[in-house]
Amino acid sequence: MVDKVHVNLMNSSYDISIGFNILKNFFISTIFLNNTNSVIITNNTIKNVILKNKYYSINKNIKNIPIFSIPDGECYKNLKEVENIISFLLKKLYGRDVILIAIGGGVVGDITGFVASIYQRGVNFFQVPTTLLAQVDASIGGKTGVNHILGKNMIGSFWQPKGVLIDIEFLSTLPREHIISGMAEIIKYAIIFDHEFFIWLEKNCFKILQLQKDTLLYCIKKCCELKALVIEADEKESNLRLFLNLGHSFAHAIEAYIGYGKWLHGEAVSVGIVISAYLSVQLNMLHKDYFSRIKTIFYRIGLPIKGPKGMLPQDYLEFMLRDKKVLSGKIRLILPVSIGKVQLFSSIENTSILRFIKKFQEDKH
């Protein structure tokens, strides 16, 4: 049984296929067997998973397909690895008909999509996300890119995949902390768009952490449907899609400050959303009860609600001023004004942001 979510982008439309063990039939028949010019991009950890007996039926069908493996970790999402992949493709004489298949989490998907967007001015690629965070968010929507030492995802492009194939069975191979990290993006969708979904998550978050199949399937499909609607309305992030950056200005600052890969992305997003909600309370835009519920759901599932020790308000501001959402030196923040509704704020003075962060750090909330 395969559920599908269609992303309607005219000539760049594609399907998100979601199910259990779909890689053992649907994936192979539609990609591997129909194309003799594929290259799999993955990381060392996922490569070992694919080669295990549990996925022997997959391995059997991909044994003749070249695999390029990058080291595992956010710190390897950089231009050096992009060059390594491109050098591999050029040395093997791959042309514009090559199809890249990203099998992995957000790092693998982002870097593969970026290579696909620039190799010989653009080639096709598929996303096969293996982490919860990538399945509900990173693999969908065509945002590709790599990090720069001065900022996260500062080098990239919009390049839509030809399809996204989500095999929920992969989640059973993940460490628990990666499942918990993925929950941050799921909760983010509920805070931005859907109060009823938030209530559902309050009741069912531990079933998701336990990888209960029906709960997982509903949750992942729900997130994919929400993101598809946003992308269809605003593919290049000029208005509505900006809302998906809730918490990310603070999260990216944390990741850049402490070094990429020191925290999982979902951990940084959790803190970023909590800070955003706190700022909204200080601006009298969000009721304290909503802030309490937002903070509590992250805390209950084991995500951090405070930033790294030693990171000062000025450290946040320094990296936030390099954020892609900054226009004319003004930091634009997405803040929740309710659960299920957010707004864009572009007139908060930097001195006020500093003061609010300082108060947040000192508050015993």
Q: What 3-state class would DSSP assign to 143?
A: strand
Is 346 marked as a binding-site residue? no
Q: What 3-state class would DSSP assign to 4?
A: strand
143 carries an active-site annotation: yes
User: From the candidates 81, 169, 185, 267, which is the catalytic residue?
Assistant: 185
Is 248 marked as a binding-site residue? yes
User: From the candidates 47, 162, 241, 287, which is the catalytic residue?
Assistant: 241
Q: Which has the closest alpha carbon to 268: 311, 303, 317, 310?
A: 303
Instruction: Answer whether 133's CB lies under 8 Å from 158's CB.
Output: no
63 carries an active-site annotation: no
3-state helix, strand, coil in the chain (%, to 5): 55, 20, 30
- Strands 2-7 and 67-70, bridge-based pairing: unpaired
User: From the candidates 121, 203, 309, 364, which is the catalytic residue?
Assistant: 121
Is 105 marked as a binding-site residue? no
227 carries an active-site annotation: yes
User: From the candidates 245, 255, 267, 325, which is the catalytic residue?
Assistant: 245
255 carries an active-site annotation: no
User: From the candidates 81, 124, 143, 222, which is the catalytic residue?
Assistant: 143
User: From the candidates 178, 252, 325, 332, which is the catalytic residue?
Assistant: 252
Is 108 marked as a binding-site residue? yes
Chain centroid offset of residue 210 CA:
21
245 carries an active-site annotation: yes
Is 137 marked as a binding-site residue? no
User: From the candidates 227, 255, 267, 325, which is the catalytic residue?
Assistant: 227
Instruction: Please state, in angstroms and rounded to a whole number, the distance separating the CA atoms of residues 134 and 131.
Output: 5
Is 72 marked as a binding-site residue? yes
Is 356 marked as a binding-site residue? no
DSSP string, 228-251: HHHHHH-TT-SSGGGGGGTTHHHH
287 carries an active-site annotation: no
Is 170 marked as a binding-site residue? yes
Is 125 marked as a binding-site residue? no
Kindly report the number of other CB atoms within 10 A of residue 169's CB atom. Answer: 18
Is 295 marked as a binding-site residue? no
User: From the candidates 265, 267, 325, 332, which is the catalytic residue?
Assistant: 265
241 carries an active-site annotation: yes
Is 6 marked as a binding-site residue? no
Q: Which residues, 6 or more positions from 273, have their beta carbon under 8 angstroms from its beta carbon? A: 184, 187, 188, 191, 246, 247, 294, 298, 336
252 carries an active-site annotation: yes
Please name the residue that has the structure tokens 């093997």. Answer: 92
Is 169 marked as a binding-site residue? no
Is 130 marked as a binding-site residue? yes
Is 144 marked as a binding-site residue? no
User: From the candidates 248, 267, 325, 332, which is the catalytic residue?
Assistant: 248
List binding-site positions: 72-77, 106-110, 130-131, 143, 152, 170-173, 185, 248, 265
Annotated binding site for NAD(+): 72-77, 106-110, 130-131, 143, 152, 170-173
Residues annotated within the binding site for Zn(2+) are: 185, 248, 265
Catalytic site residues?
121, 143, 185, 227, 237, 241, 245, 248, 252, 265
